[in-house]
Amino acid sequence: MLLPDNIHPANSVYFNAAYVLRSITDHKPHNVVELYQEVRKNHKIGFSLYILCIDWLYLIDLVEINHKGEINYVSKKS
DSSP 24-39: HTTSS-B-HHHHHHHH
Query: Taking all residues of the chain, what is their mean pLDDT, rounded to a whole number?
Result: 88
Instruction: Flag whether pLDDT at 61 surpasses 80.
Output: yes
63-65 and 71-73: which strand pairing?
A: antiparallel
For residues 26-42, give the mean pLDDT.
91
Q: Encode pLDDT of 35-60 as tens digits.
A: 999 999 989 999 999 999 999 999 99
For residues 54-75, give the mean pLDDT.
93
Nearest-CA neighbor of 40 among 15, 60, 20? 20
Q: Which domains does the chain have, with CATH numbers?
A: 9-73 (1.10.10.10)
